[in-house]
Structure 1
Amino acid sequence: MPRMAREKSYDSIYHIMVKSISEVNLFKDDEDKINYLNYMKKAQEQFEFIVYAYCLMDNHAHFIIDANGADISKIMHFINYKYAMCFNKRHKRHGHLFQDRFKSKIVKSERYLFALTAYVHFNATAIKGYEDHPEEYSFSSLAIYLGLKKDNFDLIDDVFVLSMFGLNDVSARVQYRDFIFKVKKFIDIQKEEFSNEPTEYRSMRKILVRDFSPEKIILIIMQKFNINKYALFKYRRDGVEAKALICFILRKLCDLKCADICKLLGNIGQARVSRLCSIGAELVRNKKYECIINEILQQAL
């Protein structure tokens, strides 16, 4: 039986759930959970999506993700593929790890979004020892919202949700705490979760546009490095850095797959493109290239 087409919108917020196959836990220990969140951060650097909330359980995990103009399927494939490879190597196993595709539901309103953060955060109450204190669970974003801990993975944007509870940071966190502990008693989101209802929520968020010309971006970077296309493929430091930035920025701003970039650049494999994307992500954190994306955005418009 063919799979149903996934309801998608490039400027929507999604409730995402990933689950392992029945015979193995998705996370065997804390290190596995740390690895998953680290891969999510790498994906965030690549695709520039926004994470509003998360909670990792033993055999599944929940996330609220703002695609921010990217393809949610590409985002989750990147994370889950990298994690499954790491998990299998670490635990010396083979075969599938995830149960089918990830599940997704488009968030349809602010009211639903607020209640959804409560539902995601309160998943931790199913864990022994956290029934009455879900904010103490390390692999949930609740403590970040309540101002009880820093975001060690630098993943969460809590400002968007908290801004709806007030402009003062301290009072907004207090009001959010009151809200989720009250709403927990009255809502049952799980009944309608992951239905096929084609709904979506856009709000007033600014979405990163990703329809720039790949050829124009390649040209801008070659001009910045003062190299031609022939020199781009010679093995020299500035050539490697230029290629890495091209691969990274084409993924970020043009929403291209590694296979698409291979066709554009020629004489390069997907594994090499993936590696160059990782190098590019490191380069843009360097002071030398920290402004390059804004420069390209200005020139490519």
Structure 2
Amino acid sequence: MELAEEGKIKRIFRARGKISYPGAVCHITQRASGKEPLFLEDSDYLYMLHLIKDVVKKFKLDVFCYVLMPNHLHILMRLSTDNLSKSMKDLFERYATYFNKKYERKGHVFGSAFRQALCFSDNYLFAASLYIHLNPVRAHIVQSPTQYRWSSCKLYARAFNGTTFIAYKFILKMLDNDIARARGAYCELLGSSMGIETQEVWEEPKALEYFRIRILEFMPKIISAEHESKEEFIDERKLEEKITQLRTKGRLRSPETLKARKFLIEQLRARGYALDRIGKMLGVSRQAIHKIIS
């Protein structure tokens, strides 16, 4: 199962220049300004959950999991349209207005613009869900992730027959189509992952990559990486070299050339280039790009 177009990119961290397109799977992080708290009372957590639910409906998002920590939050979600900035602006501005009004304060509630990491593989999506649910344990708030009230972890770990706006079954079914068995496997992974020490993603953008690698080391049978490409997100110099090499081949339509062209399109899209600009760089039309990535 592929969550993005089949390609080479696994995860792209974006503090600026957010990337938004239909089907994009995003790990969103946001934190309070300085050392200020983001939530002071239970009603604050509940109001943020109310806003997330409202934004999911309003902007047609799929939220796979979340955690609301005292001074920051994580949301793992998928876009259905090109509306990332609009949806997150709606969410965070409404909460900031609520928070300032309730506590009779002025100024910024959030430290900066939200941060985005694009997930281009199932392994990263799965690792992100574990990483998010283990936040309260890493912060020494609880001993087990299921003990924390303000996350989606219980949906993954315990039987649930009610309704929810969290699309938790999407990730669980990566483990087993039988949800009960999938929950058991997920709980096993949670327990095994608790000993992994890692930094927060806003302090170290590669924290989730390290976390994912460690998971694959001790649970290779549950999350197999055998279908993952060995080629990572390449640097600017290598990208320019590959573009030059491709352009010298002209309009050849061999399978190798088409594969190389698709790879470069994905690399450029991950950097935020518009399709028109990509077409000029690669010497192909916008229509040709759509055919290649479809």
TM-score grouping bracket, smaller chain normalisation: 0.5 to 0.7
How far does the alpha carbon of each residue in 1:256-294 deviate from its partner, in whole angstroms, 9 at most, with x for none? Answer: xxxxxxxxxxxxxxxxxxxxxxxxxxxxxxxxxxxxxxx
**What is the identity, as a one-letter code, of the residue corresponding to 2:184?**
V
Distance in 1 between the 2:53 and 2:63 partners?
Answer: 10
Matched, 1:15 2:27: yes
- In structure 2, the partner of 1:114 is 126
Name which of 36, 39, 45 aligns with 2:57.
45
Q: Secondary structure at the match of 2:37?
A: coil
1:69-88 matched pairs, under 5 angstroms: 69-88=81-100
8 Å CA contact 1:50–1:156 kept in 2: the answer is yes
Aligned pair partner of 1:134 in 132, 140, 145: 145
User: Which residue in the other structure is 2:182 paired with?
Assistant: 172
Aligned counterparts of 2:191 and 2:93: Cα–Cα separation in 1: 35
Q: How does 1:149-228 map to 2 (within 5 A)?
A: 154-186=164-196, 188=198, 190=201, 191=204, 192-193=206-207
**Structure 2 alignment gaps of length 5 or more:** 1-14, 210-232, 235-262, 267-294
Matched letter for residue 51 of structure 2: Y
Correspondence 1:55 to 2:71: no
Q: Describe the superposition over 1:115-168 as per-residue Cα deviations: whole angstroms up to 9, x where unpaired.
A: 1111000001144451x211111101111111256778x231111101111111
Q: Tell me: CA distance 1:148–1:87, structure 2 relative to 1, closer, same or farther (3 Å).
A: farther
Distance 1:112 1:185 in 2: 19
Is the Cα–Cα contact under 8 Å of residues 105 and 194 in structure 1 kept in the other structure? no
Distance of 1:70 and 1:144 partners within structure 2: 28
| Structure 2 counterpart of 1:66 | 78
State the alpha-carbon separation in 2 of the partners of residues 4 and 138 from structure 1. 31
Listed as ranges, the matches of 1:193-272 within 5 Å are: 193=207
Q: Which residue of 1 aligns with 2:103?
A: 91
Q: Is the 8 A contact 2:127 2:208 kept in 1?
A: no
Could you tell me how far apart the structure 1 residues matched to 2:114 and 2:141 are? 28
Aligned-pair RMSD on alpha carbons? Answer: 2.7
**TM-score (norm. length: structure 2):** 0.60
Alpha-carbon offset, residue 177 of structure 1? 1.1
Compared CA separation, residues 26 and 120, structure 1 to 2 (3 A): same
1:98 alignment partner AA: F
Q: Quickly say closer, same or farther: Cα 1:77–1:187, change in 2 above 3 A.
A: same
Q: C-alpha distance in 2, partners of 1:37/1:124?
A: 17
Q: Please give the alpha-carbon distance, in whole angstroms, between the structure 1 residues aligned to 2:160 and 2:141.
A: 19
| C-alpha distance 134-186 of structure 1, shift in aligned 2 (>3 A) | closer
Superposed displacement of residue 59, structure 1: 0.8
SS at 1:94's partner residue? coil
State the secondary structure of the residue aligned to 1:140: coil
Q: Contact 1:52–1:156 (CA<8 Å) still a contact in 2?
A: yes
Percent of aligned positions that are identical: 25
Contact 2:67 2:132 survives alignment (8 Å): yes
Q: 2:20–2:82: 8 Å Cα contact kept in structure 1?
A: no
CA gap of 1:126–1:30, structure 2 versus 1, over 3 A, is farther
What TM-score does the superposition give when structure 1 sets the normalisation length?
A: 0.59
Contact 1:14 1:105 in 2 (8 A): yes
Aligned letter for 1:139? W
Equivalent AA in structure 2 for residue 182 of structure 1: S
Amino acid at match of 1:69: T
